[in-house]
């Protein structure tokens, strides 16, 4: 207020009136202060931990914060509802927690959010993001404090037990068959593979397998062995393609004879002419043997090595004084054939199929 204005007041108002005016102004101010003191409320504010004590004429929390020039965002936390009425008699305490931006990496997405929560796990709970018992955070722990601009990555961890089937190869068991020819086989029981299940624990992170561990295995089906019988009877095919089965093979010398007087000392009118030692009549297919080497009644096959034809099937039905050891005598009907035969090396096969009575019942032992 400049001097000219004061001089104007002094000229216009008497001094007593001027003093009265100033007294009334001071009284009004004092009364106003007293009224403000009576009607205002005390508020203790903690704004992100920073204390602030104020008096306000506001009726509720919202008005009090606005009058104190404290601005809020929709993500900030206020400990009491904004529309709550203030207590005129007591100390009103308001706690404010300011939301900060953080980035959540979860389930293949990036979520940019604002939060006032204190810890990592509280943020996820606040936004309804479940954290499984095996899930893990990358670079942070669930109880770590939240800071502005924080990157929080959650890896989903799951596991499952898977079963993998594999075949158990069957084994081949061979058994001898004494009625089958050598070289012949017969499957008497077909083999079947068994089945084994192996169990593995697979660990997945965000849906991708990262670990695989063997747990155990179990046989769900036993393998069935394949049983194969193989022949043990020696055999060969003669020059006519016939299969000859034998139990023994002897390398021998062979001579030849007829029923003539020169060979047997008997004439045709002799009652024993042409009758062998075993009682059957001689004919081609009857041979004389040493019974110590080849028992009488034994069926044989006489093979002649080389280009000459085999003597063939025969029966040991005769003996001779000169027939000893590995020597046999082959009967021929013709003296010329006996002469042309002479003495030869032969192979005598003792046949597997022996019938002790057949050669006695039939004059043709090779039939």
pLDDT reported for residue 245:
92
Q: 218-246 pLDDT, tens per residue?
A: 999 999 999 999 999 999 899 889 999 99
pLDDT band for position 34 (cuts 50, 70, 90): very low
- Which helix (DSSP H) or strand (DSSP E) does residue 335 occupy? helix 335-341
Instruction: Output the CA torsion sign for 113, 116, 119, 124.
Output: negative
Q: Residue 291: name the closest of 264, 255, 251, 327 by CA.
A: 327
Give the class (CATH, top level) of 236-361.
mainly beta
Phi, psi of 15 (to 5 degrees): -60, -40
Rounded-to-10 torsion of CA 105, 107, 112, 115 = -80
Give the pairing type, strands 327-331 and 243-257: parallel
252 — pLDDT class (breaks 50, 70, 90):
very high
Which is higher by pLDDT, 264 or 254?
A: 254
* Tokens representing residue 310 in the block: 């085999």
Element (H, E) at 5: helix 3-12
Domain boundaries, the chain: 3-39, 41-97, 100-155, 160-231, 236-361
Beta-strand pair 312-318/286-288: parallel
The residues pairing with 211 across neighbouring beta strands, listed in sequence order, are 203
Question: How much is the pLDDT for 25?
Answer: 53
Q: What would the pLDDT profile of 112-142 be if each residue is shown by its tens digit?
A: 999 999 999 999 999 999 999 999 999 999 9
What does the pLDDT read at residue 193? 96
Q: Mean pLDDT over residues 267-294, rounded?
A: 93
Mean pLDDT score, 80-84:
93
Burial class (CB in 10 A: 0-12, 13-18, 19+), 200: middle
Residue 276 has pLDDT above 90, yes or no: yes
Reported as a pLDDT band with limits 50, 70 and 90, residue 154 is very high
pLDDT at 4 over 50: yes
Is 80 exceeded by the pLDDT of residue 146?
Answer: yes
Q: Contact, 200 vs 164, CB < 8 A?
A: yes
The residue with greater pLDDT, 19 or 134, is 134
Distance CA 155, CA 164 (A): 27
Residues above pLDDT 90, as percent of the chain: 71
Of 65-69, 116-120, 263-267, which range is least confident? Answer: 263-267
State the pLDDT at residue 361: 38
Residue 89 backbone dihedrals phi, psi, to 5 degrees: -100, -20
- Residues 308-337 have a mean pLDDT of 94
- The answer, as to whether pTM is greater than 0.85, is no
Query: What pLDDT is stored for residue 133 in this prediction?
Result: 95
What is the CATH T-level fold of the domain 100-155, as seen in this structure? Answer: Ubiquitin-like (UB roll) (3.10.20)
Token readout for 221 is: 């089906």
The HSE-up count of residue 266 (CA atoms within 13 Å, CB side) is 12
> Would you say 170 and 220 are in contact if contact means Cβ atoms under 8 Å apart?
no
Question: Which tokens sit at 52?
Answer: 């602030």
Q: Which fold has domain 160-231?
A: Resuscitation-promoting factor rpfb fold (2.20.230)
How many helices, marked H, and strands, marked E, lie in the chain?
A: 7, 21
Q: Which residues, at least 6 apart from 214, have a Cβ–Cβ distance to it below 8 Å? A: 198, 199, 200
Q: Give mean pLDDT, residues 155-160.
A: 96
Residue 18 in this model has a pLDDT that exceeds 80: no
Q: What is the pLDDT of residue 40?
A: 76
H/E segment holding residue 63: helix 61-67
Q: What is the structure's pLDDT at 36? A: 41
Residue 17: what pLDDT? 56
Query: CB of 328 within 8 A of CB of 344?
Result: no
Calpha distance 337→342 (Å, rounded): 9
Residues 6 or more apart whose Cβ sits within 8 Å of residue 117: 123, 126, 146
Task: Give the pLDDT of residue 20.
Answer: 56
pLDDT over 60 at 185, yes or no: yes
**Across residues 162-185, what is the average pLDDT?**
94
Q: What is the mean pLDDT of the chain?
A: 87
Q: Residue 6: pLDDT band by 50, 70, 90 thresholds? A: low
pLDDT in tens, 36-63: 444 578 999 999 999 999 999 889 999 9
Q: Tell whether the model's pLDDT for residue 1 goes beyond 60.
A: no
pLDDT at 327 over 90: yes
């Amino acid at each position: 207020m400049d001097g000219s204005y004061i001089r104007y007041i002094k000229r216009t108002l008497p001094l007593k009136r001027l003093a009265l005016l100033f007294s009334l102004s001071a009284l009004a101010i004092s009364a106003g202060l007293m009224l403000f003191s009576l009607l205002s409320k005390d508020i203790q504010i903690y704004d992100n931990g920073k204390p602030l004590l104020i008096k306000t004429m506001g009726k509720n929390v919202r008005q009090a914060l606005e009058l104190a020039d404290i601005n809020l965002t929709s993500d900030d936390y206020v400990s009491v509802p904004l529309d709550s009425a203030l207590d005129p008699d007591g100390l009103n305490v308001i706690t404010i927690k300011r939301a900060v931006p953080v980035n959540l990496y979860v389930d293949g997405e990036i979520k940019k959010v604002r939060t006032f929560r204190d810890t990592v796990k509280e943020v996820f709970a606040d936004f309804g993001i479940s954290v499984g018992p095996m899930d893990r955070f990358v670079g942070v722990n669930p109880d770590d404090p939240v800071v502005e601009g924080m990157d929080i990555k959650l890896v989903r961890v799951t596991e499952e037990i898977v079963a993998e089937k594999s075949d158990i190869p069957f084994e081949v068991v061979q058994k001898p068959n004494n009625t089958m020819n050598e070289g012949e086989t017969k499957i008497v029981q077909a083999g079947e593979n068994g089945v084994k299940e192996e169990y593995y624990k697979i660990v997945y992170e965000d849906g991708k397998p990262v670990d695989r561990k063997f747990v155990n295995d179990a046989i769900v089906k036993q393998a069935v062995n394949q049983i194969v019988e193989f022949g043990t009877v020696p055999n060969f095919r003669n020059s006519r393609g016939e299969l000859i089965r034998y139990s023994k093979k002897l390398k021998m010398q062979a001579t030849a004879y007829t029923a003539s007087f020169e060979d047997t000392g008997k004439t045709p009118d002799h009652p024993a002419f042409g009758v062998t030692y075993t009682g059957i009549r001689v004919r081609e297919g009857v041979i004389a043997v040493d019974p110590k080497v080849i028992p009488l009644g034994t069926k044989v096959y006489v093979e002649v090595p080389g280009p000459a034809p085999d003597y063939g099937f025969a029966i040991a039905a005769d003996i001779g004084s000169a027939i000893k050891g590995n020597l046999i005598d082959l009967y021929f009907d013709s003296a010329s054939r006996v002469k042309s035969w002479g003495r030869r090396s032969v192979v005598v096969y003792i046949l597997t199929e022996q019938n002790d009575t057949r050669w006695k019942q039939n004059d043709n032992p090779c039939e």
